[in-house]
Amino acid sequence: MLNPDLVSFERSDWSCPPYLTDVIREFAEHFKKKRHYFQNICRLIQQSREWKMNNLKSELEDWKRAMSPIRDSGVIIRLVEKAFSRCKNDYDIRHLRGGIVEALVVGRYGGLSVLNDKKHGWGAKVFLKIPGKKLPKEVAYICEKYPIPKGCDDRHSVDYGIWDGKLGKFYECKIQPERIECKEIMYMKKLKEELTQLGIVHEILFFCPTTTRSIERKLKGDGVHDLFTAVGSEKLEKQFPL
């Protein structure tokens, strides 16, 4: 039996400035369809690690020349150029790259249209309906160590979540596996614990636009590989609709 009210989402986590928000959403819409250059965009996210405002123009031109021979690449070239051209500082470049990573996952689940459905959450708090309680409970991780260790902090949201009334999927998205830190792991462990206590069927996933194996190695090094599912670029690409 479906239970649509058991899990709900509330948008909370959108750190990008407004002039980048719309263009990141365009990536989510563009990649709702299977694109043969999906891996190229994943490589771009890695390649642009060294892009700064002082070299952005030349790096972008080099990338455009490399992409131009690829069939039907005109639309994505224009979108990438539009996105990076809006960046005003190095901070913007970093947040744009992270936003595109999340957008690839949102695209896999249907693009922008799904965000009008309360079953989906992008950068959202997760609320769980507790038996006997009138109001749902927010899932949150509060770091109780002071001073807070490097890599840890309070955490209140998932990068992307979906609840279809029977199964929940909750994603943490990072540019590189090395960027998965204490606060992400501890929040997801807390979420998993509370979902399990309520008997909610779920899967918790970590996505990076790298190989699945590299993410698995990171999770194994953190001792949590048996709790979470690693999703690399090749695995996410296979899940796209035709």
List, for residues 93-110, the tens digit of each pLDDT value.
999 999 999 999 999 999
Sign of CA dihedral 75, 103, 108, 151: positive
Mean confidence (pLDDT) of the chain: 94
The residue among 158, 171, 159, 106 whose CA lies nearest residue 127 is: 158
Residues in the chain: 242
Q: Residue 14 — pLDDT band, cuts 50, 70, 90?
A: low
Average pLDDT over residues 53-80: 97
Confidence band for 241, pLDDT divided at 50, 70 and 90: low
Among 10, 35, 157, 14, smallest CA distance to 104 is for: 35
Nearest-angstrom CA–CA distance, 23 and 42: 17
Q: Assess contact for 163 and 43: CB atoms under 8 A.
A: no
Interval 178-192 mean pLDDT = 97
- The alpha carbon of residue 237 and the mean position of all alpha carbons in its chain are separated, in whole angstroms, by 14
Helix (H) or strand (E) holding 27: helix 18-30
Residue predicted with more confidence, 14 or 130: 130
Whether the per-residue pLDDT at 242 is higher than 60: the answer is no
Q: What is the mean pLDDT of residues 111-133?
A: 91
